[in-house]
Each structure stands twice: as structure tokens, then as C-alpha cells.
Amino acid sequence: MTAMTEREAATAMTKRQPGPSLRGWFQDWLPRLVLAPSFLLVLVFVYGFNLWTLFLSFTSSKAFPTTNLIGFTNYLRLWNWTFETDPPSNWYTALVNMGLFGGLYIFFCLFLGLLLAILLDQKIRGEGILRPIYLYPLALSFIVTGTAWKLFLDPRIGLENALHDWGWTSFHFDWVVDPKMMIYCVAIAGIWQSSGFVMAMFLAGLRGVDGEILKAAQIDGASTYQTYRRIVIPMIRPVFFSALIVLAHMAIKSYDLVLSVTGKNPGGAAELPSTFMYSYTFTRNQMAIGSASAVIMLMTIAAIMVPYIYSETREQNR
Amino acid sequence: MSAADLVTSTPSRRGPGHSRTTRIVIYGLLFLFALVYLVPLLVMVMTSLKPLDEVTGGNMFALPRHLTFAPWSMAWGEARIGVSDTRGISGYFFNSVKMVVPAVLISTLLGALNGYVLTKWSFSGHKLVFGMMLFACFIPFQSVIIPMAVILGALGRIGVGLADLTGWSFGLGNATVNLVIVHVIYGLGFTTLFFRNYYAAFPSELVKAAMIDGASFFQIFRRILLPNSTPIIIVTVIYQFTNIWNDFLFGSTFAAGDTAPMTVALNNLVNTSTGVVEYNVNMAAAIIAAAPTLLVYVIAGRYFVRGLMAGAVKG
């Protein structure tokens, strides 16, 4: 009798009939319980930490975090530094460099990426060899890229020296040791590293364009240039948008490339918001100022990414 | 066919025909750019095989006259990394290995489970949860690094306390453990994204049929989803491996001295050389630092590109 009921109970359990039993409740909630740790981690370590940094930016934290609130003082100081050009404040330099580096990096990555993608899309022999060559820098860390480009641009042994050796003795290229020009070297190394990726994005876009449309354009007598200018490039406009977002995001986050190309950013000549944040927080004991600059970086990225994520997820659902 | 497949598949035979001159210009440009991308790597390799006087006195494009592997053994075993450390980068290389293997495995497994729940056991509000997790992919790490430093410092003190009590710190305060934690957490957004998008296309009928047959949550995952996940597992593992191996910001902040990962050691090696810059040793060390990710790229470039595209385009 008892054995019977036990077996019945067991059958009922394996069938997992809905009921107020603890086991049934557990089974219903199991998926959510599996997801919960990850979600909690993100909640605490992403959202919680961002709020914590936001809080710190309103305190007078120096070497260690404090809870002494001082209002917008840190932001006011950054705001004043923004216009302090003579001598330039570190924050002013960081913002100017961000504009220079970001602008050059985004423009040339888009330009070279599109050019390479269009060239590769012309029924090329050996595309399978060329494409990986354009893409491999992506596998390298920015520190490796920076180390390589530092040698390459070093006037004593790099490009300048090599061209002198070949007889072009008037050639002069010492940007990497010139504080005023360092940021351009960072941009060169960055473009070298990332343009292949943009090429891949554009190539995917080009390959997705219907071949019939191109044929129709040809039959109508459009030249290759016209076909690209008026038909293909407008059709892949979403790729421009995606690439722009990704590049802007990478430019704002870039940190290690500056350090490795310039050799630890001597005198703050190649300062970017990312290096500014790090040095104020961890070496100059101005943690509150560092937090305020981090918040500004976060806001900038959020302003770029949130509408983008929103539109992307909406398109996916459609 | 995904966007990345369009890139890596064989090109279709279409598009306009070109005159001979145009073709020469196209091939010329493509070849020129290939050189621009390849030359820095070639110069790195050649420089690492030259004695120092040939580096400082010669042309960087010249082939080595006296081929030497001394810079490589120097970089691996004897180069100066820190003030007191002249044991080369080998120890740091293994620091990175010890960090990257658990971090990749844990974040990939969690991402797979999350993607499985979000697509096959979805509950009301699952879109919001996913959207919130996605944002983890895009935050600048500068905005979490101070709280992270505070928390890891506290964990370290707990670890010291535990070690006093029990003789073992349970890994708390260990730099490698810290970096694994950090990389798992900030990798969750991407791994969840990859698996969620992959499983969204996986037929739900199979899962439903298994449910009716009485298969449990984990049985369905292990017997039905996982065996069909090889491509996305490869993509995720490669993506995470490359990102974590190449990370510098977290490594330089949370792991000091002997416990630093490879990228930090390379940066220290390059910047602490006293007097003459030993470019040949620097280049050998840089190639060693780049070797694992380059190897992955050469072996599985197709999956590598697919991961990048998925992480960027469908972010």
C-alpha cells in the first residue's frame, strides 16, 4: 500500500504536474534561477558600479573614496579646464586630441574600408589571400600594434632612417618623438589596426546587394563609378552607420594604443579622456575628478550606443 | 546566410567587367595595401632576428645579415620586465594562459545557458533583461574601474582573513582569480548576445517535443542544444580568447608585478629598457605576445571574422 502510493507520487513528480509542490515551483523557476546570477552580476558590476562612479564624481575623493559630497565642483572644474588653453590644461589637451584622433581614425577607417571592399568586390583573383592580410591586425593587441609602430616611426631606426639609407636624405618624419604630432602617430597605428575590420563590414554589405540591380544599371549604360556612387553606396548606408558607431565607440575607449605608441604618453602630450581618467584616479590622487571624467565618457558612449541598440533590437523583432 | 558568411564565402561571379588598364590599377592598389598591412609584421620579424648593432646601424627593411635567435631567448627568459625582474616574459605568458582559459570557459558556458533561457524558456520581461545585459558590452571600463578596485581590495582583505583562519585564502586576493572574475563579468554581455542570437534560430519544436517526453531543463540543454552549438561555441571562444588575451586596462590595474598578464609585461619591457632601446628584444617579445591570437586567426579566421561581425553589427 505504502509502496504503491510512493510509486504514484514518483510518477506524478516525473510528469511534473502543476501543483503547489516545492519541486514543481522549482522546475518552473529553474530557467530564471539559471539566468539570475548572470543578470545580478551585470546589475551590480555594470549598473551598480556606474552609479557608484557617478556618486564618487560628486565627492571630494582624493587617493581613496570618501562620501563627502561637494556637489558639481568636479564637473565645474572640468568645465573650466575645457577652456583653459594657455597653457593648455590636461583636460583641454585630452578633448582636442580626442577630436583629432577620433576624427582621423573614423574618417580614414571608413574611407580605406570602403575603398578596399569595393576593390575586392571586382571579381578579383586571390581574394582569399588578400582579405586575411587586411584583417590580421585585428587579432593583435593594441600594445603589440603600438610596439611595432613605435619602431616603425622612430626616426633613428625606422622609416626616416630607411629612406635616408636609400638616398632620400631630405626625408624627415619624427612625429612619434614630437609632442605636438604624437597623436597623429596614434591615429596612424589605430587606422592600420582597424581599417580591415571596416573593410569586412562593407564587403558583407556589398555582397548583400542584389546582382540583378547592378546588371540593370549596366544595361542602362551607367559607368562603374556611377553605379557605385548612385546605387550601391546609398544601398549600403546602414553599414556606414554601423561602422561609424563601432569606430566612435572604439575611439572613445582606446587607451592602451596611446601608451604603447608614445611610450607612456610623455608629458601628457597625447592625452585622451581615457588616459586622463586613469592618471587622475590612480597616479595624481584626484579620484573624484577621474570619476567625473569617466562619467562624461560613459554619457558620451551611451548617447551613441543606446539609440543604436534600440533601433537594432527593434529591427530584429520586426 | 549571416553577414560574416557573405565576407568569407567565395565571391560570386558578378559585377562589371573592366578594361585591362582598370584591372591593372585595381590589382596594383590591392597589392600596395597588402604591403602596407604586411610590412610592419615583416619588419617586426626581421628586427627580432638581427643583432642590436644591425638594428640601430642598419636599414629596417634589410634582411638580417647575421641571423640570430638571441633576442628571442633574451625576450623569453632574461629580458628586464620590472625594476628587479630580469627573467623575461615567460612567466607572464603563463599568467595570461592561467587567466584566459578559465575566464573563456566560464563566460562561454554562462553565455550558452543565458541564451538558452532567453530564447527557449522566455518569461515576461526577457527582452528587458537581455537589453540590460547588452549594455554591458558597451560601457567604457573607465566607468567601473574604481568600484572594481575597491571591491577587489575588500575581497583581498577577506582572503587574508580567511588565510589566517583556515590556512587558505580560497583564491580571494589572487590576481589571476581577480582577472578571471572581471573578464567573466564584463564578457557576459557578449557571450549572452552570441548564444541568444544563435538559439533564437534554433527550432523550438525540438525543445517542445523533448519537454513533452519529460526531458528536464538541463537534459534538453545538454542533449539537444549543446550538440548543435559547435559553430557558435567556436565563435564565442575565439572572441573571448582574443579580447581577454589582448586586454591591457584591467590587467594593468588589477594585477601588479609578477602576477601581470602578457600585455602588461610587454608594455613594461618596452618602457623600462634602460639606455639603448633593444628593439630586437622588444619585437621578439611582441611577436610572442601576439602569437596565440595570430595562431587562432590563421587556424580559424572564418569564425574569427564571424564573431567580430556579430559583436559589432548586431550589437
List all residues of chain B from 50 to 89 with a beta carbon under 8 Å from chain A. Answer: 55-56, 58-61
**pLDDT surpasses 50 at B1:** no
Query: Residue B111's closest chain A neighbor by CA?
Result: A38
Q: Answer whether residue A138 is part of any domain.
A: yes
- Rounded CA-CA distance B21/B29 in Å is 12
Mutation target for A interface from B18, B35, B37: give the one with most A CBs within 10 A.
B37
Q: Is A197 on the interface with B (CB under 8 A)?
A: yes
pLDDT, tens only, B263-305: 999 998 888 756 678 889 999 999 999 999 999 988 888 888 7
Q: For chain A, how many residues are written?
A: 318
Q: How many CB atoms lie within 10 A of CB A4?
A: 8
* b (16+ CB within 10 A) / e for A54-72: bbbbbbebeeebeeeeeee
Q: Higher confidence at residue A244 or residue A173?
A: A244
The CATH number of the domain where A194 resides is what? Answer: 1.10.3720.10
Contact call for A132 and B301, based on CB within 8 A: yes
ipTM: 0.88
Strand, coil or helix: what is B61? Answer: coil
Cβ burial of A304 (10 Å; 0-12, 13-18, 19+) is: middle
Q: With bands split at pLDDT 50, 70 and 90, how would you rate the model's confidence at A108?
A: very high
Chain B contact probe: residue of A43, A45, A203 with most B CBs at under 10 A: A45
Q: Looking at chain B from residue 158 to 177, which residues have their Cβ under 8 Å from any Cβ of chain A? A: none
Whose CA is closest to B266, among B252, B274, B60? Answer: B252
DSSP string, B68-90: --HHHHHHHHT---SSS--S-SH
Chain A residues touching residue B188 (CB < 8 angstroms): 38, 41-42
C-beta separation of B257 from B272 below 8 A = no
Is the model's pLDDT at A313 over the cut of 70? no
B26 compared with A225, residue with greater pLDDT: B26
CA–CA distance, B127 with B125 (Å, rounded to integer): 5
- pLDDT for A171: 83
Q: What are the cell numbers at A159?
A: 622609416
Query: Of B7, B8, B133, which is closest to A42 when you measure between CB atoms?
Result: B133
Look-up of cell digits 585630452: A94
In a domain, A62, yes or no: no
Residue type at position A106: I
A33, part of any domain: no
Taking an 8 Å cut-off on Cβ atoms, the answer to whether B37 and A192 are in contact is yes
- Split into its structural domains, chain B has a count of 1
B222 close to A (CB below 8 A) = no
Residues of A in contact with B118 (CB under 8 A): 35
Query: Is residue A126 situated within a structural domain?
Result: yes
Residues in chain A closer than 8 A to B55 (CB atoms): 157
The predicted structure's pLDDT at residue B15: 47
Whole-number Å distance between alpha carbons of B261 and B92:
5
Which chain B residues are closer than 8 Å to A207 by Cβ? 6-7, 9, 11-12
Task: Decide if B73 is inside a domain.
Answer: no
Residue B247 lies in a domain: yes
The boundaries of the domain holding residue A286 are: 90-317
pTM for the structure as a whole: 0.88
The more confidently predicted of residues B168 and B32 is: B32
pLDDT confidence band for A219 (50 / 70 / 90):
confident
Which amino acid does the sequence have at A122? Q
pLDDT of residue B13: 45
Q: Which residues of B touch A143 (CB under 8 A)?
A: 246, 248, 263, 266-267, 286, 289
Per-residue pLDDT band for B314 (boundaries 50, 70, 90) equals very low
Q: The dihedral of CA A111, A116, A118, A119: what is its sign?
A: positive
B146 vs B58, residue with greater confidence: B146
Q: Would you say residue A3 lies in a domain?
A: no
The answer to whether the CB of B198 falls within 8 A of the CB of B232 is yes
Closest residue to A249, CB basis, from B17, B123, B138: B138
pLDDT band at residue A214, thresholds of 50, 70 and 90? confident
Contact yes or no for A157 and B55 at CB 8 A: yes
Cell of B102: 578559465
B40 within a domain of the structure (yes/no): no
Note whether residue A308 is domain-resident. yes
Cβ burial of A16 (10 Å; 0-12, 13-18, 19+) is: middle
Interchain contact, A151 vs B44, CB within 8 Å: yes
Q: Is residue B2 part of a domain?
A: no
Inter-chain Cβ pairs, chain A and chain B, closer than 8 A: 301
Q: Is B177 contained in some domain? A: yes
Joined together, the cell numbers standing for residue A271 give 592625452
Evaluate whether residue B3 is within a structural domain: no
Put simply, whether A238 touches B (Cβ < 8 Å) is no
Give me the residues paired with residue A88 across strands: A85
- Is B76 contained in some domain? no
CATH of the domain at B167: 1.10.3720.10
B10 has a pLDDT exceeding 60: no
Compute CA distances A72 → A92, A107, A148, A295, B60, whole Å.
19, 35, 42, 13, 53
Residue of A nearest to B54 (CA): A157
> Cis peptide leading into A238, omega within 30 of 0?
no
Within a domain: residue B56? no
Residue with cell 574569427: B304
C-alpha A167/C-alpha A183 separation (Å) is 29
- Whether residue B286 and residue A119 make contact (CB cut-off 8 A), yes or no, is no
**Inside any domain, residue A259:** yes
Amino acid at B152: L
Q: Share the mean pLDDT of chain B.
A: 87
- Residues A295 and A57 sit within 8 Å (Cβ to Cβ): yes
Confidence label for A275 from pLDDT (cuts 50, 70 and 90): very high
Nearest chain A alpha carbon to B6: A204
Structural domain harbouring B276: 89-312
**CB contact at 8 A, B309 and B315:** no
- A85 strand-pairing partners: A88
Domain count across chain A: 1
Residue A126, sorted as left (phi over 0), alpha (psi -120 to 50) or beta, turns out to be left
Enumerate the β-bridge partners of residue A191.
none
Give whole-number Cα distances, B182 to B35, B254, B255, in Å: 38, 9, 11
